[in-house]
Structure 1
Amino acid sequence: MPIALEPNQSFDVVLPSDKDKPVESRPTFIARTQSMRGQRQTLKAIDDSVDTKNEELTHELMFKIVLDELERVLVGWRNMGERDFSRDALEDVLSFREARELLMMVAHNQAVQHEEKKS
């Protein structure tokens, strides 16, 4: 069924650095499934966050672009200790590289694979 007909679908995303951790304690992000339009928007944000031709791009703007997009595509998380999911908390738990890696996985609707879920 086309994603556009089920817009509230979500999927689990695990950063590669966490994939070997036990399922019950593995840090897991919950993302909205992206249509082609959403994928385009996410990929544009990734590109814009490192556009070396943009003379107005500051470190502050780079982080804002990435956080704005994470806020749009993520709906929650699990196994992040006592932290509640929020934009502010994202800044505390992710590096810039991890944030961009997470966006790339969301842009490609890369859910945790079935065999990964079993471990």
Structure 2
Amino acid sequence: MSMKLERARKSIKELNCRFHNLEFSPDGIYRELEKLGVDIQGSILIEIFPDSGDTYVGKMIDQDGKLLAFDIDCSDPKFSAVIQIPFPKLTPWDIVSVGVELHEELYS
């Protein structure tokens, strides 16, 4: 296994350990994702970044195995959105590839 792949797997597993243990702050992130139909415990977080103020953007694989992009506004939820996006062409060490692998490992 390549070092890139090992690092990507470790990174995604650590991120999702925190995500599934509800360790991200503010907890409005979880509330908004759930309102938008995401099952937190059945999903794999790929990436999350602060955008501005109380807004966060990222990607995840949901409970149905769909790749989603999200924009969560914790202070004004009417601006929160989740959309399905196509899976890109991937290398084995790409974080989306590793997320798909982890989703299959945990939920298949």
Structure whose residues are more often helix by fraction: 1
The answer to which structure, 1 or 2, has the higher relative contact order (CA under 8 A, 6+ apart) is 1
Larger radius of gyration: 1
